[in-house]
Structure 1
Amino acid sequence: MPTTSPAPPPARLAIPPPLRQSPSLSSLHVQSHAQTPPRTDIESSSSSVANLDLSDSILIPEADAEPDTGEPDTAAASAHAPVADAASKKALRDHLRRTLSNKESHSAEAFPPRQYFVLTDAGKPVYTSRTIERDVDGLASTIGIIQALISVFLDDGDKLRCINAGNTRINFLIRSPLYYACVSSWGEPESVTRTHLEYLHLQILSVVSAAQLRRLFERRGNFDLRRLLNGAEVLIFSLLERLQTDLAISTSSLHCLKLEPTLRTRAANALVPSSKVKDMLYIILVAQGRVITLVRPRKHSIHPADLHLLMNTAHSPSIVNSSASASWLPLCLPKFDPSGFVNAYITFLQEDLKSNNASISTRGGEDPTEVRSSEAEHEGGMNAGDSSTKASKRSPARPVGSGVGLICVSGNGDSDSIRTWCDAVTKRLTSEGTLGAIHNAIRTQATEYSVSELSIPGLRHFIYKSRSHVQITVPTYEDPYDDSKEQQRLMTLYQTLHDAIHAKSGQNLSLKLQYIRTEREGIMGWITQPFELYIALSPWLPKSAAIGAANAVARWVKKEESRLFLRDAPVF
């Protein structure tokens, strides 16, 4: 692993002037793929920052960490209903303008829920986050407009990226044979909701592999994909909930649980499989929605997108609220192998858990490797709705992240051998006192920390990302960010800085430092070779003090690095 240079002293950091107010958007502005991307009018010091080459790290780092946002070069024109005449195009735009204007006039909420739509290129709905019980006709009209708008640009040899209408932005993503759209009024950069749509696509691919999806629509262009996704809606809903607030997903990184390094090492050593265990890919120990440790094959890193899909699956209600002690389900990891499936064994461990209590969750005692829908069986895929664990009405709901979870990903379809090995791991964690120590750390809140512990004047919150480890650390939210709306507003500001620093929305140059001052706080983003830092400060703090606070945070994280990050995890 290459060495990194120390952070530059505060005196060398250039302090940019305050941002000018962004120009107002027109009532309806359409951006297509062929147009020049919008440029952010920002006054700030800027420089290109090279990514680290870390081929042996736990996660795939910066350059490959972002979900693939490139679009296919070609699209099948025969799959789109042609809308050739100018009058039809104008009618579509006028209808969209009226619809958006009506919605904006009735929406007084600062952060209204984002709306997500998935449809096929034939115009068949696949998924929507909108409640449709009372507005079936409205949903059908919306799906039709989305399909027609995308077709207008595809017929002209172009690709529609987004539509700006006042404070509302509609982002589009084409992943043939599926179309994705997101409607948001949060004021975030375009790259944020495009990343959401990419993850939404990856979540669908985790249920229906890319190869299976292609074969289905080559055979039947009007295939109803909802049949294969029946029961998997809970996974999609859970993912969309995480996307709204998960800072690790926003920064394409891993969020580790703060823990004593000796305790983390003991847990990791217990997870290393013996040579008798075949085809094991990843073993992950999680708690409170964060990673305790991760054991992987030698010279094989896990992609952050695949890791987040695993975390989302493990913490979905169908798993967390299950009365079964363990779940065994097939899923596709798109960044690992988009054409095939692996098997995941998921169990949440209690302090008094005995190894003989572990069981495999299946339908009616069937072998879990044989659970699949008739359509998926014909295509060689699995139906997540059938393979996911069913929740028991008598079982009390386990809060997400309240227990210590064990996730074993294997290419081996022998559930009995994986279960036996996981039982042995659980027994070792219990007998050595490791599991009890982790539960005790969670109970005493030793796994959390606040900005007050840093004793830095004016500091309110921060996100620190170690670029070498591809991991972040974040303190708990405190006043004035203990309200959900304030957290959403702060996250949007962080995303604005992240977008500008990495030039994700078509800016001319990436930035090294940017400072934004609002009426409520000052926000600064700073990127160096070893780390990225985003901090929220009192608006009354001078800029020179903001620079000092940023350096103080970097020094504190460096001192606490062994507790905050997963380092030197064992491999096999």
Structure 2
Amino acid sequence: MEAGGGGGFCSGELASLGPASDREPSESPGAEEEEEEEEEEAEVRGALAGPQEGGSTHLEGQELSDQASLEKKADKGSKDSGKQGKMPSSGQRGELSVPGSRDEEDVTAEGWRSRRKHVFVLSEAGKPIYSRYGNEEALSATMGVMMALVSFIQSGDNAIRSIYSDDRTLVFLQQGPLVLVAVSRTPQSAAQLRRELLGVHSQIVSVLTRAGVARVFERQRSYDLRRLLAGSERILDSLLDGAEREPGFLLGAVRCLPLPAPFRDSLGALLQRATAPSLAFSILAAGRHLVTAAQERAVLEDCRLDPADLHLLLNLVGASSAFRAGEVWAPVCLPRFNPDGFFYAYVSYLGDSTDYALCLVLLSTDREAFHALAGCKRIVEEGLQALGASRVLAAGGVGLPSYGVSSVGAPDLRHFLYKPFDVPDNYRQLPQFTSPEMEGPYASEEERQRLFDLYYRLHGRLHAPSRPLRLIYHVAEKETLLAWVTPKFELYACFNPLVTKSGAIHAVTKLLRWVKREEDRLFIRYPPKYSTAPGPARYGPTRTDSALENGL
């Protein structure tokens, strides 16, 4: 695949190439700028061009709580086996889960068997918990076979990780008392499927906490966890849908809404003013896109907001219509931050409750902080009105991602994914990426999925555990693709199928220069911080029950 179709090309050693020169381009094209562009293009050519036009070489890379409440619900569920329970209460405003009927397919039908990918979650006792398609009860025998297979391998002091057939890959993942299985006909590698299963497990943990799940099964090994997850199937469905369509899950990064840098800075300053003593994170989002985020300094010293946690949080908010009903107060766990405890999330949409309306998410360590955070929301609303936010967002095109590939000015370029590494304060920075709208030949859902499958293939080869690559040039039937990872960025670019190598080099040069010029609009370069007293930390001096309860 590295050199499919027309062959690949690479150099012997990648040049250390950044997104563009450190010098700022002049306002109008001149001799100095043209000379600079020629030098950069030569540098790209040196990094990409191979010894022969038809060569098929590739470059190898370097080896690269509400715990008591949960227990009470579990006890009640075990006594009342005929009644379905609910997720943990969302507190003072609204409910976290929204009950509703799922699309229950006939698991004996050909349509169910021909699905591209199935995901199953079951307990160690073989109890079904979740199925991406079909009714869990109808699949209880199938899940029992899966658990029998896992147990058989474990009896030999081993663990089953994956099974490969001609057209399917089966991946198994055990996390505490839960077993997750993916059966896939997609191009995803076993490592990519395993990360997706980890995401599903993390979404369950975000609702119940890891300690809560473990304690429930310690009390009753055969407990039906669906009693605590009732209504959350929609959230898991949404997560898996997003994993197939959103590059952020693949890249381990978040996409920012492109905005003028001064306006984004003003929004950050607004979040810095709207604080409360127990506030740890403040997030403004539009759909699955980040507008800006502020973090308490004491929290920042301990760890940063992980993109995986942010994906789970935005998916939880976006998948539940209850969050659009008004002000919602709900416990939520951030597994990468602390899988054993809850934060308390204040969620409110600002303005119209459309898919891309601004959503304010405030995470507190205090379960009694609802009214204090409601006051923070009023400050944010007043500030947005003073800034004329609705006018700026409308002008910026909040329909997302609000720019087309034509903005780059490279005619051969159809689409790209760009993830920078050389960002200020990189260790504490939230990993981000940018990509344009899918246009032209990728307007249909089928073609978008096909392109995304190609990105999955390239990503899997770049990050293969056994033989990672640093550069791939792939000529396919309908497009030509380039995947390139350097110490400064990770890039996936799609060109028209007739592009020449020199044309691809020229387009990549233009793209890197364009990203450099637009980086302040495309990314959050300097995330805002604020201080509260007392400052929260990840863990207190001792891991008490109260510490488990509030997530710290």
Task: Name the TM-score, length of structure 1 as normaliser.
Answer: 0.72
> Residue 123 of structure 1 aligns with which residue?
126
Could you tell me which of 398, 403, 420 is aligned with 2:375?
Answer: 420
Distance 1:567 1:141 in 2: 51
Tell me the alpha carbon deviations over residues 221-276 of structure 1, each in whole angstroms, 9 at most, x when there is no partner.
1111111111222221221121111101110011000111111111111111467x
Matched with 1:189 is: 189
Offset from partner CA, 1:30-78 (integer Å, 9 cap, x none):
xxxxxxxxxxxx941123277xxxxxxxxxxxxxxxxxxxxxxxxxxxx
> Does residue 227 of the first structure (1) align with residue 200 of the second (2)?
no
Quote how far apart the aligned CAs of 1:319 are: 3.5
Partner of 2:328: 327
1:341 maps to amino acid: F
Question: 1:484 and 2:445 equivalent?
Answer: yes
1:496 paired with 2:457, answer: yes
* Local SS of the residue matching 2:296: coil
2:392 maps to 1:430: no
State whether residues 211 and 340 of structure 2, in contact with CA within 8 Å, keep that contact through their aligned partners in structure 1. Answer: yes
Distance 1:107 1:311 in 2: 31
Corresponding residue number in structure 1 for 2:46: 12
Partners of 2:53 and 2:443 lie apart in 1 by: 26
Q: What amino acid sits opposite 2:157 in the alignment? A: G
| Aligned residue type for 2:422 | S
Residues in 2 aligned to 1:309 and 1:446: alpha-carbon distance in whole angstroms: 20
What SS is found at the alignment partner of 1:272?
Answer: helix
Match of residue 553 from structure 1: 511
The residue identity in structure 1 corresponding to 2:294 is V
Is 1:456 matched up with 2:410?
yes
Aligned partner of 1:269: which letter?
A
Q: CA deviation at 1:128?
A: 0.8
Q: Counterparts of 2:414 and 2:108 in 1: how far apart (Å)? A: 32
- Choose 149-158 or 470-479, whichever is displaced more: 149-158
Cα shift at 1:448: 1.1
Return the alpha-carbon distance in structure 1 between the equivalents of residues 246 and 143 of structure 2: 28
- Number of corresponding residues: 438
Secondary structure at 2:441 match in 1: coil
Q: State the AA in 1 paired with 2:313.
A: L
* Cα offset, 1:422, TM superposition: 1.3
> What is the 5 A alignment of 1:197-208?
197-208=197-208
Change over 3 Å in CA distance of 1:107–1:350 after alignment to 2: closer
1:542 aligns with 2:500: yes
**Equivalent AA in structure 1 for residue 145 of structure 2:** I
Q: Secondary structure at the match of 1:559?
A: helix
Give 1:315's aligned residue. 318
Identity over aligned pairs, percent: 31
Aligned to 1:211: 211
Whether the aligned pair in 2 keeps the contact of 1:15 and 1:45 (CA below 8 Å) is no
Q: How does 1:365-376 map to 2 (within 5 A)?
A: none
Q: Distance in 2 between matches of 1:274 and 1:464?
A: 32
Amino acid of the residue matched to residue 462 of structure 1? F
Give the one of 7, 28, 46 matched to 2:60.
Answer: 46
Alignment of structure 1 residues 136-215 onto 2, 5 Å: 136-137=137-138, 139-215=139-215
2:479 corresponds, among 521, 527, 544, to 521
Question: For each residue in 1:176-232, what CA deviation from the matched residue of structure 2 results, as whole angstroms up to 9, or x when unmatched?
Answer: 210001111122222222111010000000111111222222222111111111122
Partners of 1:255 and 1:472 within 8 A in 2: yes
- 1:507 equivalent to 2:466? Answer yes
Partner in structure 2 of residue 73 of structure 1: none
Matches within 5 A, 1:103-114: 112-114=115-117
Is the Cα contact below 8 Å between 2:121 and 2:181 reproduced in 1? yes
**TM-score, length basis structure 2:** 0.74
Which blocks of at least 5 consecutive residues in structure 1 are unaligned?
Answer: 21-41, 51-102, 352-397
Alignment gaps of 5+ in structure 2: 1-15, 20-39, 65-106, 424-430, 531-552
The answer to whether the Cα contact below 8 Å between 1:18 and 1:43 also exists between their aligned partners in 2 is no
Q: Partners in 2 of 1:266 and 1:211 — Cα distance?
A: 39
What's the counterpart of residue 400 of structure 1?
A: 355
**Shift, 1:447, TM fit:** 5.6
Change (3 A) 1:446 1:183: closer
* Structure 1 segment 263-412 matched on structure 2, within 5 A: 263-273=263-273, 277-298=276-297, 299=301, 300-319=303-322, 322=324, 324-350=325-351, 398-401=353-356, 403-412=357-366
Aligned to 1:395: none
Work out the CA distance in 2 between the residues paired with 1:210 and 1:169.
28
Change (3 A) 1:178 1:447: closer
Report what 1:467 is aligned to: 421
Answer yes or no: is the 8 Å Cα contact 1:533–1:550 preserved in 2: no
**For residues 496 and 485 of structure 1, do their structure 2 counterparts lie closer, same or farther at Cα, with a shift above 3 Å needed?**
same
Distance (Å, rounded) in 1 between the aligned partners of 2:381 and 2:224: 42
Describe the shift of the 1:410–1:325 C-alpha distance in structure 2 as closer, same or farther (beyond 3 A): same
Equivalent residues of 2:473, 2:483 under 8 A apart: yes
CA distance in 1, matches of 2:495, 2:462: 19
d(CA) in 2 for partners of 1:6, 1:474 = 18
Assess if the C-alpha contact under 8 Å between 2:188 and 2:460 holds in 1.
no
Q: CA deviation at 1:457?
A: 2.9
1:48-67 correspondence to structure 2 within 5 Å: 48=62
Aligned equivalents of 1:121, 1:210: Cα separation in 2: 15
What is the aligned counterpart of 1:571 among 526, 529, 538? 529
Whole-angstrom distance in 2 between the partners of 1:104 and 1:325: 42
Deviation at 1:18, TM superposition (A): 10
Amino acid at match of 2:60: S
Q: What is the Cα deviation at residue 541 of structure 1? A: 1.3
Residue number in structure 1 paired with 2:32: none
